[in-house]
A and B are shown apart, each in its own frame.
Chain A
Amino acid sequence: MTVDSESVHRLSTEAPSRHRGRRGDLVSMLLLLVFLAAFPFVAPGSLVGVGVYAMIYAIAALGLSLLMGLAGQVSLGQAGFFAIGAYTQAVLVTEYAVNALLASVVAVAVTMTAALLVGLPLLRLRGHYLALATLGFGIIVAVLATESDFLGATSGIFGIEKPDVNGRVYDSATEYFLLLTPVVLVALLLARNIVESRIGRALSAVNDSEVAAESLGVDTFRLRVQVFVLSAAYASVAGTAFAHWIAVVNPNAANFPLSVKFLLMAVLGGVGSVYGAVVGAFAVEGLDDGLRRLIPELVPGAVGEVQLIGFGIALTLIMIFLPGGLHQAFQLLVGRIRRGPSDGAAPDPGAPARQVDGGPLLVREGRPEPGTPLLVVEGLTKRFGGVVAVDSLDLTVHAGEIVALIGPNGAGKTTAFNMISGAVIPTSGTVTMSGKRVEGRKPHVIAMAGATRTFQNLQIFTSSTVLGNVKVGRHLRSRAGLLRGALVLPARAEERALERSARDLVELLGLGPDADRLAVDLPFGRQRLVEIARALALEPDLLLLDEPMAGLSGAERSELALLLRRLRAGGMAIVLVEHDVEAVLALADRIAVLDDGVRIALGTPAEVRRDPAVISAYLGVETDDGSELASVEGPSAS
């Protein structure tokens, strides 16, 4: 039996909706700001206390929301990291009399290190393993804290004082709320920036199609680890705030129900919507407080964490009826009010690209000299059980040439293609790209070596616009990391340049009128062009196209053929798998023919056209007369 590990990890197509709900996002941020500013002054005294906990937990929930929205992973051990932060802070402040601010920096660093150690092995795995392993991690943190005399065993660490800034002691609920407000806002702002940044864009693409994102050079594993560590950092900030407020840290800080609470906050607010986590935190803390009062009245003698019943029911109901959480509800509301012109003006999809001149395209400094071997494939073999899909394929592609891979259905073209691009691990053989051995490596390694691909079964990033898709292609041609992305300003110039080059490419492929539409809303053939634009955004030395002509109209086909010639003139090498034999014969410099996994011919179109083995493979008959392949229709594409 096979595990369906490729199952999508997204909650809904709404999250993270960067492009459709921008104004809605802004409105909600503003509302939140007003709410936070007014809360400590308007709310009754006891509620302010609840609000302080909501603020503390909101930070941890924000981290979890980032992890779930960006990395598509869920952690059931967020309280474990929360506790590490809280304990480190408590020890530093009480045992070593470290200044609270300095201590919190250390606490966050300690937690991030722990998260890195836990995340490195676990993030290679799929969703449910990480969830259960983090659950186990949380339990272990609680066990270790209970067993450790240094950490005060079951009773924990006492006597953590309220922070004191320039003589002002933040010891009332209102004061502490005010102290936390800027912290929460900064946390929120950083999170929001990250979602919008190059890293956020790449991770959102990973959630839509992991293999496509990796083929564009996105190192999924590395980014997931980064987000996981960041999420733990958020938890630890919350932990340090918690330690000072409650004045005692005991093993309950790593309690599993607390992890459930964080999860509920993130889910209720709307996964991937950052402000949602804060709203969710207030809602859940309110629910918690209410249930703790209500349940003992309804059920006499009820003790312990009975409020969990509300958490459980809320989690279930949200997932069934409102998987996008409050954020989704809000979007629907805002959307209903301002539905209108943006949807009406659908551009004319039929307009082909206007090619003004036919000169070379994407000429780039440092491209390999035309004629030098770029891709060298030797003895490439793939066996699926007893079936040999590809048998010892040899192929060399030189810079600045177009090589086509053709053959009947089931000849092994796509398998060969997948092995070269890193999507399938070969059984044996080598693939060398620009002098670097890449066989069996992940697609992003091959992308870094200068080769990228498009897909026969389209792998469009469904939650992005056409422009957004192409921007992901610029991933390797831009550099802003998590930190620069979070701070926005240092990355601004780069973002602007990136936007410009992505727009140029979109225009080049005649997609200009559709640039800001969701890519999935485009017709099939134009989605194919989006994939090509996206691949070109990488400025590859080698472009691998899997059936680029399928689904295109006659006019679009000749436009594309022209484009490919211009790219070749610019020095790019192109390998294409194609069923349209006519187009291939007209376009390619050399053609390799596969049949039953074996390369039966390799040569110029003129040579291949007359090759008896090729003709018999296509027509299924032995021929030795002078017939040519030119009139043979390729088998129809699926």
Chain B
Amino acid sequence: MTDLLQLLFAGLSQGAIYALIAIGFVAIFAVSGVINLAQGEFAALAGLVAISARASGLPLPVAVVVAVATVAVVAVVMERLTIAPVKAMTTLVSLILTLGVSTALKALMLLVYGPNAEGLEAITPGIVTVAGVSIRYQDLWILLVAAVVSAAVYWFYDRTVTGKALRACAEQPVAARLVGISLGRASLISFLIAGIVGALAGVLSSPVYFTSWESGLALGLKGFVAATLGGLVSIRGAVLGGFVLGVLETLTAGYVSTGLRDAVAFLLLIVVLVVRPGGIFGRHAEARV
């Protein structure tokens, strides 16, 4: 029983990271139909920037702010340089473009920070034991921040005018433009959001899971799976998808085999897409003509 609780808790903490990455995928996809393959790199970059800022003597909170700000700028610049200039954005084009950016970012990180994986120091170091389950304080921080950020993003889309405008772009691009919403600006804001949540995922996860130039690949893939579980266009679905994936992964690692851990996401992706293309929480997708 304790084992199960321990695994569940670890899964939730891991899932919270996936949820944050997934929110980034949804934010961009919902507005422009672009799958941003550099989403995982946002997280890796934030982790590495924070580590090096800390190493140069900045206090941890400042290092985190520097990291998030850096990634936010990178995301915005990426949108302006690579997404905005393309007139006819098809699935194929968007995938190749963002893959290009992702690859360049990866190599840049390798050049600047070298090949080794490192971990940022924890916000609160140490472990507390509750009912036989040992919990890192960092895990609690992860859950707390993920909850606050998801709620904030949800509130943004649901309650603010800008958020509603973004949703309008996603649902009826032409009509949105007719009432004066700029699609270009909406796309820019969506990248900004994706950059910030991705960066937060990166700095939060680094103390536990470590960060290297290539850790963005797995994080991005799993964030995408989480977002897909939630239907790819719903913030709530993305968060739930993240937790489901995190828990399933740790349970598989705990009870079946650690080697299979990375296969879970892929298998889940296939099963969900084939059985319920609209996501496990979404409605069934209707064919459109």
Q: CB of B125 within 8 A of chain A?
A: no
Q: List B contacts of A247 (CB < 8 A).
A: none
A260–B221 touching, CB < 8 Å: no
B105: contacting residue among A135, A312, A314, CB under 8 A: A312
Q: B286 CB to closest chain A CB, in angstroms?
A: 8
Q: List A contacts of B262 (CB < 8 A).
A: 139-140, 143
- Distance, CA A96 to CA B114, complexed state (A): 41
Q: CB of B127 within 8 A of chain A?
A: no
Q: CB of A418 within 8 A of chain B?
A: yes
Q: List B contacts of A625 (CB < 8 A).
A: none
A137–B99 touching, CB < 8 Å: no
A323: contacting residue among B93, B218, B233, CB under 8 A: B93
If A143-B262, A316-B101 touch, whether A127 touches B91 (CB-CB below 8 Å) is yes
A1-19 contact mask (Cβ, 8 Å, vs B): 1 or 0: 1111111111100000000
Q: CB of B10 within 8 A of chain A?
A: no
Q: CB of A577 within 8 A of chain B?
A: no
Q: List A contacts of B86 (CB < 8 A).
A: 319-320
A115-131 contact mask (Cβ, 8 Å, vs B): 1 or 0: 00000011011111101
Q: CB of A133 within 8 A of chain B?
A: yes
A139–B107 touching, CB < 8 Å: no
Q: A118 CB to closest chain B CB, in angstroms?
A: 9
Q: CB of B184 within 8 A of chain A?
A: no
B-side interface size class: 35 or more
Q: List A contacts of B33 (CB < 8 A).
A: 3-4, 7
A45-76 contact mask (Cβ, 8 Å, vs B): 1 or 0: 00000000000000000000000100010101
Q: List B contacts of A317 (CB < 8 A).
A: 100
In the complex formed, the residue of A with least CB distance to B108 is A309
Stretch at the interface among B130-138, B246-254, B265-273: B265-273
Q: CB of A601 within 8 A of chain B?
A: no
Q: CB of B106 within 8 A of chain A?
A: yes
Q: CB of B55 within 8 A of chain A?
A: no
A127–B95 touching, CB < 8 Å: yes
B266–A139 touching, CB < 8 Å: yes
B75-105 contact mask (Cβ, 8 Å, vs A): 1 or 0: 0000000100110001111111101111111
Q: CB of B35 within 8 A of chain A?
A: yes
A-side interface size class: 35 or more
Stretch at the interface among A23-31, A296-304, A399-407, A602-610: A296-304
A9: contacting residue among B91, B170, B263, CB under 8 A: B91
A139–B103 touching, CB < 8 Å: no
Chain A residues numbered 351-387 whose CB sits less than 8 Å from any CB in chain B: none
B263–A143 touching, CB < 8 Å: yes
A6–B288 touching, CB < 8 Å: yes
In the complex formed, the residue of A with least CB distance to B213 is A304
Q: CB of A147 within 8 A of chain B?
A: yes
Q: B193 CB to closest chain A CB, in angstroms?
A: 16
Query: For A128, A303, A305, A425, which residue has the most chain B Cβ atoms within 10 angstroms?
Result: A128
B92–A127 touching, CB < 8 Å: yes
- Distance, CA A114 to CA B158, complexed state (A): 45
If A136-B221, A312-B103 touch, whether A1 touches B167 (CB-CB below 8 Å) is yes
A301-327 contact mask (Cβ, 8 Å, vs B): 1 or 0: 111111111111111110110010000
B97–A315 touching, CB < 8 Å: yes
Q: CB of A186 within 8 A of chain B?
A: no
B104–A295 touching, CB < 8 Å: no
A139–B218 touching, CB < 8 Å: yes
B96–A74 touching, CB < 8 Å: yes
Q: CB of B161 within 8 A of chain A?
A: no
Q: CB of A211 within 8 A of chain B?
A: yes
Chain A residues numbered 246-276 whose CB sits less than 8 Å from any CB in chain B: 256-257, 260, 263, 267, 271
Q: Main SS of chain A's interface residues? A: helix
A125–B277 touching, CB < 8 Å: yes
- Distance, CA A425 to CA B287, complexed state (A): 8
In the complex formed, the residue of B with least CB distance to A143 is B262
A309–B111 touching, CB < 8 Å: yes
B269–A7 touching, CB < 8 Å: no
A305–B110 touching, CB < 8 Å: yes
B97–A11 touching, CB < 8 Å: no
Q: CB of A105 within 8 A of chain B?
A: no
A140–B266 touching, CB < 8 Å: yes
Q: List B contacts of A309 (CB < 8 A).
A: 103-104, 107-108, 111
Q: List B contacts of A125 (CB < 8 A).
A: 273-274, 277
B92–A306 touching, CB < 8 Å: no
A132–B111 touching, CB < 8 Å: no
Q: CB of B30 within 8 A of chain A?
A: yes
Q: B239 CB to closest chain A CB, in angstroms?
A: 16
A320–B85 touching, CB < 8 Å: yes
If A10-B90, A303-B115, A312-B106 touch, whether A131 touches B167 (CB-CB below 8 Å) is no
If A4-B33, A124-B274, A132-B221 touch, whether A74 touches B111 (CB-CB below 8 Å) is no
Q: List B contacts of A323 (CB < 8 A).
A: 93
- Distance, CA A271 to CA B93, complexed state (A): 11
A11–B91 touching, CB < 8 Å: no
A10–B92 touching, CB < 8 Å: yes
Q: List A contacts of B111 (CB < 8 A).
A: 295, 299, 302, 306, 309
- Distance, CA A550 to CA B97, complexed state (A): 41
Q: CB of B18 within 8 A of chain A?
A: no
A129–B101 touching, CB < 8 Å: no
Q: List B contacts of A313 (CB < 8 A).
A: 100, 104
In the complex formed, the residue of B with least CB distance to A1 is B233
A224-237 contact mask (Cβ, 8 Å, vs B): 1 or 0: 00000000000000
If A3-B33, A311-B103, A312-B102 touch, whether A136 touches B269 (CB-CB below 8 Å) is yes
In the complex formed, the residue of B with least CB distance to A125 is B273
B96: contacting residue among A211, A295, A319, CB under 8 A: A319
Q: CB of A423 within 8 A of chain B?
A: yes
Q: List B contacts of A316 (CB < 8 A).
A: 82, 97, 100-101, 104
- Distance, CA A237 to CA B91, complexed state (A): 28
B110–A304 touching, CB < 8 Å: yes
Q: A394 CB to closest chain B CB, in angstroms?
A: 23
In the complex formed, the residue of B with least CB distance to A304 is B115
List 7 interface pairs A-B (beta carbons < 8 Å), by A numbering: A4-B33, A6-B288, A121-B270, A121-B274, A125-B274, A140-B263, A425-B287
Leading 5 A-B pairs by shortest Cβ distance: A312-B104, A315-B100, A312-B103, A309-B107, A316-B100
Give A contacts to B, CB under 8 Å: 1-11, 68, 72, 74, 76, 121-122, 124-129, 131-133, 135-137, 139-140, 143, 147, 211, 256-257, 260, 263, 267, 271, 295, 299, 301-317, 319-320, 323, 418, 423-425
Give me 13 other A-B pairs in contact (C-beta within 8 A), A121-B273, A122-B273, A311-B100 excluded. A2-B288, A10-B90, A10-B92, A74-B96, A125-B274, A132-B221, A132-B228, A143-B262, A306-B111, A307-B107, A314-B100, A315-B103, A424-B287
